[in-house]
Structure 1
Amino acid sequence: MTVPGLEEEEEEEEGKEEEEEEREEEGQGQPTGNAWWRKLQIVTEYLWDPEKRMSLARTGQSRSLILVIYFFFYASLAAVITLFLYMLFLVISPYMPTFTEQVKPPGVMIRPFAHSLNFNFNVSEPETWRHYVISLNGFLQGYNDSLQEEMNVDCPPGQYFIQDGDEDEDKKACQFKRSFLKNCSGLEDPTFGYSTGQPCILLKMNRKGDENDIRSINYYPESASFDLRYYPYYGKLTHVNYTSPLVAMHFTDVVKNQAVPVQCQLKGKGIINDVINDRFVGRIVFTLNIET
């Protein structure tokens, strides 16, 4: 015995199952346009959800809260660093180092500037030595007599120029006039001897030269040393007008047409000038090659 209504329901269910199987078979192939559209909707809603008013899964309120938290965090961090730097600068003197592990000996500097410390020039060819003259003239501008008399004081020679007082008090500097260099001042001979094969080279400390190929050297000042009155040096903050003393070497008789090595050393108490693995500690070495 069959029930008519029950048979109809069974037929409808079988029809639905067949439709679902067909849809599943179609889904196993390429995605339909509806599937792509659904994925695009999901991405769009993630970027901006108008119902919940969320962007990238966050509301404007949560983003504002995050910005406020980060602002106060970095502001506190900057305040702590600034406070520690302020406390550090309170205990450190800008005029002299608080701690020193090793004080290196003073070095030696020469002028005019020469690449590789080799002085090569031909007396009869001005273009080979003109740049040396220009370098010396530029370097000695700060040593002009009028400028030194205006800025610095005339000190007695042979003694240290000690200046007591507060460390932040401005210090005076002793005069070192360009005229002290005499034949190497560029005032009497504008070419500093390069036009005659008798070049002048300026040093910034004591010097002792070679004995063989350099037969005659004149020193200015004649003592070939740096007078004590130019020391101590109190630093650039308080010793504003300080002018470094110089020693000029006037090579009046040097072997021509060959390289002549010259070594200048600092001599003084506590000065190191014999370090084997560093030939520029307390000394300087250069070469003269004068062609005729």
Structure 2
Amino acid sequence: MASKEVEYQQARPKRTGPGGAWDSFVRFLWNPQAKTCMGRTGSSWAKIVTFYLIYYGLLAGFFAGALMIFYQTLDDIEPRRAGMQSILKGNPGMGFRPMPDVESTLVKFKQGVPDNYAEYVEHIQDFLDCESYNTTDPNAVNCDIETPEEGQVCRFDPDKEAGPCTAANTFGYHEGEPCVLLKLNRIYGWEPEPFNNETINEDNDHAKAAKEALGENIHPEFIGITCEGENPGDVDNRGPAKFYPEHGFPMRYFPFLNQKGYQTPFVFVQFKRPTPGVLINIWCKAWAKNIYHHKKDKAGSIHLELLLD
């Protein structure tokens, strides 16, 4: 009887070091003995993928539903919170151009050096172009010759209102008489209450301050505007200032109701003959019965520094 010989194959010794780590990693990716991929069998992977598809599908559906309900509460024209319920509390802030650096309120330039003040001219012009003041939107009408119907707005004409503060005149920077554009932030439904000859004489601090600041430049159809030096030295160095339009922001551009074709009114202040080589601190304020100024947050006003080298 023939003897049976059993042939045994010696197992390959496990590697250590980097080679052993690589073998363990490969075995983790695919283990041929246990038929697993990354520690899971095919059926296990199918169950976990199905679970997460259902889970994230339901989560996405819940989020989309909540977002759809939220948008149903919003109006395309009127904000949900307006007036005293809004964050502005019915007291508009002010902005100014040029302000190419949003972190700086300094307007510094050299007279007669175009490369030095080019960014200021460009920044003002960019604002005018962005607001589309030259639009032919039929909803914006010329209120000098016609009365706007309900839903229509008055067209703001920079060529008429800006005086010498135009791009063709480099907004005065070439002559060392810089123009600064002032604007009020839009507040839906806000109606200014300008001072008139009667309310300017009321016995309260706000009316007294307005009368002192505005002097004879009081008009019942305009929101008054002033730009004064913050300190006695600034007052002396500021020089004369001219406003375009002369009396401030015209009332006919308010209230803002998100009308089609609405154009933000602005006022140019041109500083005539500011003292060269001196940093001048200027505080510009809008004046109306329902515009209040706060030194801390500059509500209803803006602060800027002017330096003519």
User: TM class by shorter-chain length?
Assistant: 0.5 to 0.7
Given that residues 139 and 260 in structure 2 are in contact (C-alpha distance below 8 angstroms), is that contact kept between their aligned partners in structure 1? no
Equivalent residue, structure 2, for 1:63: 45
CA offset digits 1:71-129 (Å, max 9, x no partner) = 22222222222222212222233433334463253222212225422222232433333
CA distance in 2, matches of 1:80, 1:149: 42
Equivalent residue, structure 2, for 1:213: 237
CA distance in 2, matches of 1:57, 1:128: 67
Amino acid paired to 1:254: P
Determine whether 1:264 maps to 2:284.
yes
Alignment of 1:1-292 (within 5 A): 34=11, 36=13, 47-48=30-31, 55=37, 58-99=40-81, 100=85, 102-104=87-89, 105-113=91-99, 115=101, 116-141=104-129, 146-147=134-135, 152-155=140-143, 163=150, 171-179=151-159, 180-187=161-168, 190-205=169-184, 207-210=225-228, 211-223=235-247, 225-235=248-258, 239-276=259-296, 278=297, 280-291=298-309
Given that residues 143 and 176 in structure 1 are in contact (C-alpha distance below 8 angstroms), is that contact kept between their aligned partners in structure 2? no
Displacement of 1:162 in angstroms is 8.9
Judged with a 3 Å threshold, the aligned counterparts in structure 2 of structure 1 residues 264 and 73 are, in CA distance, closer, same or farther, namely same
Displacement of 1:35 in angstroms is 8.5
Amino acid paired to 2:163: K
CA distance in 2, matches of 1:234, 1:48: 69
Amino acid paired to 1:192: F
For structure 2, the 5+ residue unaligned runs are 1-9, 15-19, 185-223, 229-234
Displacement of 1:136 in angstroms is 2.8
Judged with a 3 Å threshold, the aligned counterparts in structure 2 of structure 1 residues 58 and 220 are, in CA distance, closer, same or farther, namely closer
**Does the residue aligned with 1:266 lie in a helix, a strand or coil?**
strand
CA offset digits 1:127-147 (Å, max 9, x no partner) = 333332333333333577753
Higher helix share: 1
Amino acid paired to 1:63: W
Amino acid paired to 1:128: N
Given that residues 113 and 135 in structure 1 are in contact (C-alpha distance below 8 angstroms), is that contact kept between their aligned partners in structure 2? yes
Displacement of 1:62 in angstroms is 3.6
Given that residues 131 and 264 in structure 2 are in contact (C-alpha distance below 8 angstroms), is that contact kept between their aligned partners in structure 1? no
The CA RMSD measured in Å over matched residues stands at 3.7
Judged with a 3 Å threshold, the aligned counterparts in structure 2 of structure 1 residues 54 and 150 are, in CA distance, closer, same or farther, namely closer
Aligned sequence identity (%): 24
Displacement of 1:242 in angstroms is 1.9
CA offset digits 1:145-165 (Å, max 9, x no partner) = 7535766212369x9x894xx
TM-score, with length taken from structure 2? 0.63
For structure 1, the 5+ residue unaligned runs are 1-32, 164-170
Judged with a 3 Å threshold, the aligned counterparts in structure 2 of structure 1 residues 64 and 263 are, in CA distance, closer, same or farther, namely same
CA offset digits 1:20-52 (Å, max 9, x no partner) = xxxxxxxxxxxxx74946xx99996994456x7
Equivalent residue, structure 1, for 2:219: none
Moved more, 92-101 or 105-114: 92-101
Given that residues 162 and 232 in structure 1 are in contact (C-alpha distance below 8 angstroms), is that contact kept between their aligned partners in structure 2? no
Displacement of 1:245 in angstroms is 0.5
Amino acid paired to 1:228: M
Larger-gyration structure (1/2): 1
**Does the residue aligned with 2:306 lie in a helix, a strand or coil?**
strand
